[in-house]
Structure formats: structure tokens, C-alpha cells
Amino acid sequence: MINYPKEVVIEEQGLRDGLQSEKALVPKDKKLALINAVVDAGVKRVQVTSFVHPKLVPQMADAEDVCRGLKPTNGVIFSGLVLNTKGIERAAKAGLKHVAASISASDTHSRKNANASLAKARKGFAEMVKVGHQLGLTIRGGLQCVFGCRFEGRIDPAVVLDLIKEQLDLGIDEVALADSTGMANPHTIQQISAEVIELAGGMPVFLHLHDTEGKGLANALAALQVGIAHFDTAFGGMGGCPFIKGASGNISTEDLVFMLGQMGIECGIDINKISAVSRSLEDFFAKQFSGKMHRVLARDDIQIVRNYREGHN
């Protein structure tokens, strides 16, 4: 008998990981409307933007404006992605209380993506934690490319655990393990997650999964089985990494919400509302995203959908 968590926390990353891979710029007011819709659907954590150089990611050039337009909502955490101390300072100045900072577990990816060797990135990370805490921010630490790198292939789990230990010693408040390339499989997910959960000693451990190789939900299920209860997702299954070619698609919020619901695991998110957000984005960008349930739930001719709407699945 497997002990699944009773509740799961989902952090919606579509506003950042999703939108950043789209060329068509989304106006600030539309982003704020999306954030409100996501919160209305019951999402309790939203990564609203990233503080990167506007030239590198033009979609995030309005980071400060988006943060200043946020409607404070009880029990909802708004977070921003930061890559350096300048980003931390910008986030704090814009009024955020929570930031996500991470480095790559792959030296080659770090050199190409962050223009820093892994050794240099580690030093930079320590500085970010120091400055972030001085500014009173909660810091989600963590690693990218935990389960594989397109340049280096497999990443040695010992390296991953060493880097996580170092970050825990620095005093991060939460941990996130990102499968940035979608190369994880259920076996590696269970191996590494179990070890990190033990190291983290009760601190939330998030998994950030991409569906690049079609294993996204399988990996989420494997993670649930070893006690992971925190996931990043993106509406519609949008997303990617502008620096990793082909790293498309986070696991879709509505697909994970639907699967959890069928398994009797609570996440507090209204699947019909979040699906409507995804459909509105497909209309906006005039394209189809890789998630499934937002389209399934729009149909009237499928028995499972009727059952779901009537509350028995």
C-alpha cells in the first residue's frame, strides 16, 4: 500500500515559465488579469515574473509593474524568479516577499545559461541568499537540470545532493528540484527526491517538471509515491526554457489537478476555472498548448467529462 500525500501544493508558473517562451508580448494588465483568474481558481502560489535582463527575456521587462499591480490576497504567495543579487534587490523593491533562486547542477549549462562556471554560480548563490535574507525575503533555493543536461547528459546524484546540502547550510527556506530538460524518469525522480526530502528535514521540496519527453505526469506520480507534495505546473502545459532548445512544456496545471482529483488528493484548485484560463491563452496566442484537460473539459460529448461535472468520477 502506497502512502500518497493527502494534500498537494501547486505553484502556477505559467506567468513566468509559460509566457517567457512566447514571442508575442502580453500586456501588463492582461498578466494581472491572468494572475487574478489563477488565484480565483484556488491557486495559492503564483510565480508572477522573473527579474532578468529585459534584453534577454523581453516578455519579463515589465516585472516591476506586474508586481506593483498585484492585489494582496490572504494566503496567496506571489513569487519572482531571480538570477543574481540585482534581481533580488529589484524584487524586494517591487514589493515581493518571496523569491525563487536556483543554479544549474550542470557546469556546462551554467556556463551557457548563466555565463558562470558552477563554482562561480555557487558563490553567487550564497551571496543571493545573504542579500535576500537581509532584505527580509523568503527564499526558495534549488537546482536546474537535476535529472539531466542536454550538454552533459546524466548528472551525478552525488553532485546534486552536495549542492543541495550546501544550499540548506546557507539557510534557504524551501527547495526546488527542476527537471529543466524533461530528461528525468520515474526511477531517477524517486531516487533523488527521496534523498533530498530526507536532507531537507520537513522543509517543502518542490519538483519542477517538464514534459519534453512525455514523462511529466509519470514523474509526478513517482514523486508522489516517495512523499513529494509540492509541484510547479503551468496552465495549458505552456513553458520551456529560452536557453534550452526543445525544453518545451511544463506539466500542465489542469492535467495534474485532474489526476490528483481522481486519486482523492486535495489541491484546492477548481479544474474548470483553471482550464478556462488555459483556453483563453490558446485563443490569445492562436495556438494549441500541450496540456490535455482544458480541451477535454470544453467538450460535451465525452462521458467522463459529464461524470466529472456531476461530481462522480
Using CB under 5 A as the criterion, which residues of the chain lie in contact with Zn ion when the complex forms?
17
Rg over alpha carbons for the chain, rounded to the nearest Å, is 18
What is d(CA 194, CA 83) in angstroms, rounded to the nearest whole number? Answer: 27
Q: Between residues 50 and 167, which has the closer beta carbon with respect to Zn ion?
A: 50
Phi, psi angles (nearest 5°) of residue 176? -135, 130
Q: Between residues 241 and 297, which has the closer beta carbon with respect to Zn ion?
A: 241
- Active-site residue, 145 included: no
Angstrom CA distances, 105 to 26, 37, 178, 187, 213, stand at 31, 34, 10, 19, 20
**What does 249-262 look like in DSSP terms, one character per residue?**
-BPBHHHHHHHHHH
H/E element, 19: none
Q: Between residues 17 and 64, which has the closer beta carbon with respect to Zn ion?
A: 17
E-strand stretches of 53-157: 77-82, 98-101, 103-104, 138-144
Q: Between residues 63 and 244, which has the closer beta carbon with respect to Zn ion?
A: 244
Residue 192 CB, nearest approach to Zn ion (Å): 17
Q: Which of 85, 89, 49 minimizes the C-alpha distance to 70? A: 49
Q: Which of 81, 74, 84 minimizes the C-alpha distance to 124? A: 84
Secondary structure letter of residue 286 according to DSSP: T
Burial of 2 (0-12, 13-18, 19+ CB in 10 A): exposed
Secondary structure letter of residue 121 according to DSSP: H
Residue number of the CB closest to Zn ion reads 17
Residues 6+ apart with CB under 8 A from 55: none
Q: Between residues 17 and 211, which has the closer beta carbon with respect to Zn ion?
A: 17
Give catalytic residue positions: 241
